Amino acid sequence: MPYYGPDFGLLQQRDPEIAQVLLDELDRVRGGIQLIASENFTSPAVLAALGSTLTNKYAEGYPGRRYYGGCEVVDRAERLAISRAKELFGAEHANVQPHSGASANLAAYAALLQPGDTMLAMALPHGGHLTHGSKVNFSGKWFDVIAYGVRRDTELIDYDEVRALALRHRPKVIVCGATAYPRLVNFSIFRDIADEVGAWLLADVAHTIGLMAGGVIPSAVPYADVVTFTTHKALRGPRGGGILCTREVAARVDRAVFPFVQGGPLMHAVAAKAVAFGEALRPEFADYARQVVANARALCDTLAEEGMRPVSGGTDSHLALIDLRALGVTGAEAERRCAAAAITLNRNVIPYDPEPPAVTSGVRVGTPCVTTQGMGPEELKEVATLVAQAVRYPDTVAEVRRRVSELLVIHQPYLSEL
């Protein structure tokens, strides 16, 4: 029996092609190990909010200050999302309307910068994000972006370089946070540098916000003027974004989200964010976050034992970046070999990568999904051996798939809800 609500029968009747897409996607995730670091499985409660009639309501503006009538009910959902986000993260202000992390960053820049202003951010090839100044992105086209990176010897952020660049270029905004950096970011040092040069500090913690919510890594909120995040990664909520900030810039942030960047918010997604924040406030979410990190370390350490070098020597978070050059296999080829073995991960550039971004010398792996499925460190050690076997010995793909299937018998998403 498929895991979908009471309306699924109607969908099958009215649009069997799309119904089959839903079923096939469920089969895909149930039939393989999901190691994409930026993905997770939401709770059934989050899915219920996403599939609700709140999707029908136009609600431009903010609670109590809408440009449409009939918003008194959806106002309650947004107020709950805001209050729960502020409580969860200890923030002075929260905006829960951004449709994505990229939308949140666009709004944050609009609140703090003018086109042509200088900002300092992490280089994409060293673990940063497209919206941190990539030349193919609006951030790189609209702003004068100075990039910092990691050291060649340690593969850790070079804080001395960050400070030197800040003193030389005097950026208006300093951005910290990454998408493929497995170590902790020292927000205190970034705060000191920002204060020294009179810059705003923007922390993009889309990847690690769930670990901060669970209290297993230091929070950016006490240090940054603005914190942008997504709700669909380790936080285990719906796809979407959010912004936390100080009272000083709250009005600027709200005006940047609406009306500058977005029109009507997606009220079903806002309600689902409220559900996710409420779930993250419960003690069991802290247990989950601790398990995510423990699993990532077990995965990373075992991959290292299998001859797959972790960038920076390990991980402090939910993800690991793996250098495959010693195996003579590119990231793209490793991704294909693992996919054939029912293991989903993504190729990823490593610092100072000699290969182009479409090929790469590395892969990125993460543990939010498998942890949600109930796996622990012992299972992740086995997963690591399966990844290594798939990458190193592609002719054993049938054997790896068999072992993957055995591991998933008791670790599949949503089956407990049938």
> What residues are designated binding site for (6S)-5,6,7,8-tetrahydrofolate?
124, 128-130
Set 230, 315, 344, 367: catalytic member: 230
Per-residue burial over 50-89, b if 16 or more Cβ lie within 10 Å, else e, is beeebeebbbbbbbeebeeeebeebbebbebbbebbbebb
On whether the CB atoms of residues 317 and 211 are closer than 8 A, the answer is yes
Q: What are φ and ψ of residue 184, in 5° steps?
A: -70, 145
Q: List Cβ neighbours of 315 (8 Å cut-off, separation of 6 or more).
A: 182, 183, 293, 296, 297, 300
What lies within 8 Å, CB to CB, of 220 at 6+ separation is 176, 177, 185, 187, 203, 205, 212, 227
How are beta strands 346-348 and 362-366 bridged, if at all? antiparallel
Of residues 239, 337, 347, 364, which has the active-site annotation? Answer: 239
CA–CA separation, 406 and 84 (whole Å): 39
Catalytically annotated residue among 4, 30, 58, 396: 58
For 199, counting Cβ atoms within 10 Å of its Cβ (0-12 exposed, 13-18 middle, 19+ buried), the class is buried
CA distance 192 to 212: 21
Kindly report the number of other CB atoms within 10 A of residue 409's CB atom: 7
Which of 66, 84, 172, 233 is an active site residue? Answer: 233
Cβ within 8 Å of residue 232, ≥6 positions away: 38, 39, 40, 42, 238, 239, 240
Element (H, E) at 180: none
398 three-state secondary structure = helix
Q: Which residues are annotated as a binding site?
A: 124, 128-130
Phi-psi category of residue 113: left, alpha or beta, with phi > 0 → left and psi -120 to 50 → alpha: beta
| Catalytic entry in 4, 30, 60, 151 | 60
Question: Does the annotation count 230 as an active-site position?
Answer: yes
Instruction: Based on the residue annotation, tell me whether 233 is a catalytic residue of this protein.
Output: yes
Verify whether residue 239 is a known catalytic residue.
yes
Annotated active-site residue in 204, 225, 254, 333: 204
- Smallest Cα–Cα separation from 237: which of 276, 204, 264? 276
**Helix (H, G, I), strand (E, B), or coil: what is residue 321?**
strand
Distances (CA, A) of 147 to 122, 123, 220: 5, 5, 20
Residue 43: closest CA among 241, 244, 277, 207:
277
Q: What are phi and psi of 365, to 5 degrees?
A: -130, 150
Instruction: Give the catalytic positions in this structure.
Output: 58, 60, 204, 230, 233, 239
